[in-house]
A and B are shown apart, each in its own frame.
Chain A
Amino acid sequence: MPEQQTADDRTGPAQEVALFLRERREQIAQRWADAAVFRTVFTVSRDEAVEAGRAVVEALAAVAATGRVEDSEADGFTVVREQLARTVRSRTRAGASTGQISAETDALRRPVTELLLDELAEAPADHVGECTTALAVLMGTLRLVMLETSTVAGEELINRQRLELLEIATPVIKLWEGIVAVPLIGTLDSARSQVVMETLLDAVVEQHARLAILDITGVPTVDSLVAQHLMKTVAAARLMGAECIVSGIRPAIAQTIVHLGIDLSSVLTRASLADALAYALQQQGARIVPRAVAAAESR
């Protein structure tokens, strides 16, 4: 309908929809507050959901008033873009897929359309048709705006999942009575180190471990921060009565640590997990038979 778009001076169906949205703002917001996309995000109170709904109605009215109901870049959306992004992020975090969020946004269309039809009960049929079409296009545009922000939220989710993966990749393995091992794999940043330390200390308490092996074979880089984390973990375990052994320091990493100037002499180290276990067993007074060691290690 190109001729309608250029006729800004006359009041078209879009402007009429804008008027309707402003007049019925309260009612629309009340109905939307019960829709999933608002109800599940603004959970503190229903008022909060209604308030969020009002803001969206207001934005839609502003967009409709300019006649550009199909423009997802319209200025009118600017004020609610952040709120919509937050909504999408929150739904994404709750496990909703993009398709689901799209459907939930689409579900907002019916209550508002019903109110519009109610409003236009006396109007001629072709006029009703024009107005409901304008509203449908506008609601479709809202959905598009939501989806655009959901792509961004999706990327954030991937980053978050990566972080979660780092956390679950910290299993504590009981190797022997009183001996636990934590094979570390991947980046040992501050957040991850905190998890490692807590997991290890819990295991020391729960499993009455006297010896804990931190195996860093799977840690690609040992810099001053990683070294500091290792030393802190060792010190904390020691306070709880357990001795830590750091194993899996590869030759290239050993040389690098020396050049870096980090003194790991306060930390008990062994080249491999097998060596660390052999040492730990010896400390426990167990007799070591090579075949038995191999069997325990593969457990």
Chain B
Amino acid sequence: MTHSTGSVSACLPIHSDLDLVRARQQVRQMTAQLGFGLVEQTKLVTAASELARNALVHGGGGQMECTEVTGGGVRGLRLVFSDRGPGIADLDLALSDGYTSGEGLGMGLGGARRLVHEFRVDSRRGEGTTVTVTSWAAAPPRPREGR
């Protein structure tokens, strides 16, 4: 699929529980505008919730960048979560269901991967973690004037 990437349309800080609420609201609003169906909206919002919380809890805080993308005539939303925390030492382990270094269920990272269409983790020990996810509106958005 050929992707054309738009400019970053929103960049939100992730430093508190309240920021997590804002991040979810932002993703919900953008996916709705892009014509995502309710299920796809819910999936991406939930993935965002997991990844934003990981950036907050494990990465010590970070940010979420939202970018509208287009590919093969379909519109999508790309989210980039980045933090400057300790990084993920063993990515396969971190992705496996039930693994947690804290007290969570250990379902966040692997679950987020299943909830989105494209998923990538870049992490260096001691330097931080960047998780990039993209999901597409299941069907091309209905033609509509404006916006």
A-side residues, CB < 8 A to B, are 159, 162, 187, 189-191, 220-225, 227-228, 251-253, 255-256, 259-262
On whether the beta carbons of A261 and B45 are closer than 8 Å, the reply is: no
On whether the beta carbons of A159 and B18 are closer than 8 Å, the reply is: yes
Known: A252-B39, A252-B41. A221 touches B24 (CB 8 A): yes
Please pick, from A221, A225, A259, the residue contacting B114 in the complex, using a CB distance under 8 A.
Answer: A259
Closest beta carbon of chain B to A107's beta carbon, Å: 35
**Which of A190, A221, A262 neighbours the largest number of chain B CB atoms within 10 Å of its CB?**
A221
Q: Which of B55-97 contact A (CB under 8 A)?
A: 97
Closest beta carbon of chain A to B138's beta carbon, Å: 12
On whether the beta carbons of A189 and B17 are closer than 8 Å, the reply is: yes
- The 0/1 profile, CB within 8 Å of A marked 1, for residues 42-62 of chain B is 110110011001000000000
In the assembled complex, the Cα of A253 lies from the Cα of B41 at a distance in Å of 10
In the assembled complex, the Cα of A117 lies from the Cα of B18 at a distance in Å of 52
On whether the beta carbons of A221 and B49 are closer than 8 Å, the reply is: yes
Please pick, from B18, B38, B42, B105, the residue contacting A262 in the complex, using a CB distance under 8 A.
Answer: B105
In the assembled complex, the Cα of A162 lies from the Cα of B115 at a distance in Å of 30
In the assembled complex, the Cα of A8 lies from the Cα of B104 at a distance in Å of 63
Task: Kindly state whether residue B131 has any CB partner on chain A within 8 Å.
Answer: no
Task: Kindly state whether residue B110 has any CB partner on chain A within 8 Å.
Answer: yes
Which B residue sits closest to A260, measured CB to CB? B111
Please pick, from A162, A191, A222, A224, the residue contacting B108 in the complex, using a CB distance under 8 A.
Answer: A224
Please pick, from B41, B105, B110, B115, the residue contacting A228 in the complex, using a CB distance under 8 A.
Answer: B105
In the assembled complex, the Cα of A132 lies from the Cα of B47 at a distance in Å of 63
In the assembled complex, the Cα of A187 lies from the Cα of B114 at a distance in Å of 23
Q: Which of B1-50 contact A (CB under 8 A)?
A: 17-18, 20-21, 24, 28, 38-39, 41-43, 45-46, 49-50
In the assembled complex, the Cα of A220 lies from the Cα of B18 at a distance in Å of 15
Known: A256-B42, A259-B43, A260-B115. A225 touches B17 (CB 8 A): no
Known: A259-B115, A261-B114. A228 touches B104 (CB 8 A): yes
Contacts of B42 in A (CB 8 A): 221, 252-253, 255-256
Contacts of B20 in A (CB 8 A): 189
**How many chain B residues have a CB neighbour from A under 8 Å?**
25
In the assembled complex, the Cα of A187 lies from the Cα of B25 at a distance in Å of 11
Contacts of B53 in A (CB 8 A): 223, 225
- Majority-rule SS of A interface residues: helix
Q: Which 6 A-B pairs have the closest CB atoms?
A: A260-B111, A252-B42, A223-B49, A224-B107, A252-B39, A259-B114
Contacts of B43 in A (CB 8 A): 255-256, 259
On whether the beta carbons of A260 and B107 are closer than 8 Å, the reply is: yes
Contacts of A225 in B (CB 8 A): 49, 53, 104
Offer 27 A-B interface pairs, CB within 8 angstroms, sorted by A.
A162-B18, A220-B24, A220-B45, A221-B24, A221-B46, A223-B50, A223-B53, A224-B50, A224-B104, A224-B105, A225-B53, A225-B104, A228-B105, A251-B39, A252-B38, A252-B39, A252-B42, A256-B39, A256-B43, A256-B46, A256-B115, A259-B43, A259-B115, A261-B107, A261-B111, A261-B114, A262-B111
Contacts of A220 in B (CB 8 A): 24, 28, 45
Which A residue sits closest to B27, measured CB to CB? A221
On whether the beta carbons of A223 and B21 are closer than 8 Å, the reply is: no
In the assembled complex, the Cα of A262 lies from the Cα of B110 at a distance in Å of 11
In the assembled complex, the Cα of A252 lies from the Cα of B43 at a distance in Å of 8
Please pick, from B45, B97, B110, the residue contacting A221 in the complex, using a CB distance under 8 A.
Answer: B45
In the assembled complex, the Cα of A225 lies from the Cα of B21 at a distance in Å of 13
